[in-house]
Amino acid sequence: MSSRRVLRETRTIDPASITEHYLDRVLALPEGVGTLRVELDFEKVTDCFQLYAAALDPGGFLRGHVQCPGDPGPRRLSFEVGEEHADLGCHAGPLPAGEWTIRIDLDRFTQGGSYELRVFVADADADADAGRAVTAVGRTGVVRAAPVPPSPPTWLRGELHSHSLHSDGSADLPALLDAARAAGLDFLAVSDHFTSSHWAELARLEEQGAAEGLVLLRSIELTSHFGHANLHGLSRWPGTYVDADGWDFADAARDVHAQDGLVGVNHPFSGRQAWRRDDHTWDDVDLLEIDNFGQGANNDAAVGLWDRLLGSGHRITGVAGTDCHHPQKPEHRLGQVTTVVRAERSREGILGALRAGEAYVSRGAGLRLSARTAAGQCGMGGTVPLDGPVHLDVELDTPRPAVLFILRGGLLWHMEPVAADGPARIRVTDPRPLPGPYRAELHASSDDPYFWASCNRSHASSLAVSNPVWVAATSPREAERHSA
């Protein structure tokens, strides 16, 4: 098949004169087109002039995209979508006639620059296609794997934030699965940016046995100009471009929840990737990344945000993510910070535990919290009525001497040393409990004689962080008394 150019645009752009986040070109494709190729040339200036390219079909479904990882300098981004073949990050299948959107995403646009955009098409090969059935790509873009028999709930350790060659990762999916198994993980979310193209390949790998021992979640990282969010448990592409008129983050969150999926805000204080969206409420959010391995002190701010949200009554589960792009590099190695859930070994079980908050974040230690009053008991994510003293049971296992901290309503309430001598159980009783969240943290202890005066705990000393148990007022009068 010979291709022909149907669009060429050369343009110099400056942030002072452009307010859009996407530059869209509408291209009318006739019947009979077999392949579409998009090329975008520009000079990358890291964090100042970075562009992505994408193509959306007449129904608004993302058929192809490409990002610009790597060094600054002259760049050529390109991808091809065809009936039988598509580049990584893209969906193969028939190309329907109609108005396609060719999109330039102005990812980082704080200084001006120039680009050249080219689009090529080629007609379908009628002779080669004769008598051959081609399955049209749908908005799901997924081959469903066989159901896994249910298993008893147990504690499962996994990774909720990783990337492959389908977006800006450096590893293919088989290598990423190998790295996850080598790290001893029980579940993995490949959360490639923008696209759902990796789901079908993951399903094929499952069918071939390449994911043995791993539960794979269907996930996408929604990558907007005002923050990133991981979307988990999806059955269809939810529309990840939320910076244009007509579709915002609240719309995307409603779509995810209609699929029984989960919405999680990532690295909320990460510079230009920090969470700055104002087109939703926190009721739209199920998960918050309180420990991202590469974020350093930004994680301390994330925990502070989490406590404020919990104190406002939001039931948001704290989770972790390595944000792995290069599993072969030490700083991206899977398993260094994980989310641990109590669930049956299935997608539905893991998603249910995350939704319920029956989870903790681990940097090598175990930490499980439960609560009991005269009126009932619960585990993490659960609620007990306020009826007399609250007894908190902490099960922990630490590889080194540590300090247990318990926070009540976001304030430090209790602390005590813990020896590194295997699994332990600690019971703490609050004789005058307050309605609201109680949660636990485990931090490496210090030999500094001033440690017990200041208890400097941070991301650098963190070994594990539990999700909260909740104490609920037993009556409106009781609630009013405690809030006065």
Predicted local distance difference test score (pLDDT) of residue 291? 98
Segment holding 175, helix H or strand E: helix 173-182
- Interstrand relation of 33-44 and 22-29 (parallel, antiparallel or unpaired): unpaired
Contact 86, 66 (CB under 8 A): no
**Cα radius of gyration (the chain):** 25
The pLDDT tens digits of the residues spanning 81-111 come to 999 999 999 999 999 999 999 999 999 999 9
Residue keyed to tokens 């343009």: 11
Predicted local distance difference test score (pLDDT) of residue 455? 82
Could you give the 3-state DSSP secondary structure of residue 438? strand
How many angstroms separate the CA atoms of 312 and 306, rounded?
Answer: 10
How many angstroms separate the CA atoms of 458 and 453, rounded?
Answer: 15
Could you give the residue ranges of the DSSP H alpha helices within 216-346?
Answer: 249-258, 298-311
Predicted local distance difference test score (pLDDT) of residue 1? 60
Spell out where 419-481 has E strands. 424-430, 436-444, 462-466, 469-472
Q: Which residues pair with 120 in a beta bridge?
A: 5, 37
CA torsion sign for 130, 135, 137, 139 is positive
Predicted local distance difference test score (pLDDT) of residue 131? 37
How many angstroms separate the CA atoms of 27 and 416, rounded?
Answer: 65
Residue 196: phi and psi, rounded to 5, are -110, 15
Question: For the whole model, what pTM was predicted?
Answer: 0.93
SS (H, E, C) 195-251: CCCHHHHHHHHHHCCCCCCCEEEEEEEEEECCEEEEEECCCCCCCCCCCECCECHHH
Contact 228, 221 (CB under 8 A): yes
Predicted local distance difference test score (pLDDT) of residue 451? 80
Contact 47, 154 (CB under 8 A): no
Predicted local distance difference test score (pLDDT) of residue 147? 53
Nearest to 380 by CA among 217, 155, 184: 155
Structure-token pair, residue 181: 């198994």
Predicted local distance difference test score (pLDDT) of residue 449? 81
> Following CA atoms 206, 196, 233, 152 in sequence, which dihedral angle do they give, to the nearest 10 degrees?
10
Predicted local distance difference test score (pLDDT) of residue 148? 55
**Cα separation values, 152 from 266, 287, 344, 474, Å:** 30, 24, 5, 33
Residue keyed to tokens 């100042």: 48
* Domains of the chain, earliest start first: 3-124 (2.60.120.380), 154-362 (3.20.20.140), 368-483 (2.60.40.10)
**What is the full per-residue pLDDT of the chain (484 aa) written as tens digits?**
689 999 999 999 999 999 999 999 999 999 999 999 999 999 999 999 999 999 999 999 999 999 998 899 999 999 999 999 999 999 999 999 999 999 999 999 999 999 999 999 999 985 444 333 333 344 444 444 445 566 789 999 999 999 999 999 999 999 999 999 999 999 999 999 999 999 999 999 999 999 999 999 999 999 999 999 999 999 999 999 999 999 999 999 999 999 999 999 999 999 999 999 999 999 999 999 999 999 999 999 999 999 999 999 999 999 999 999 999 999 999 999 999 999 999 999 999 999 999 999 999 999 999 999 999 999 999 999 999 999 999 999 999 999 999 999 999 999 999 998 889 999 999 999 999 999 999 999 988 888 888 888 999 999 999 999 999 986 444 445 445 4
Burial 23-56 (b: 16+ CB within 10 A, else e): beeebebeeebbbbbbbbbbebeeeebbbbbbbb
Structure-token pair, residue 398: 């630490």
Residue keyed to tokens 């030490």: 330
How many angstroms separate the CA atoms of 53 and 110, rounded?
Answer: 18
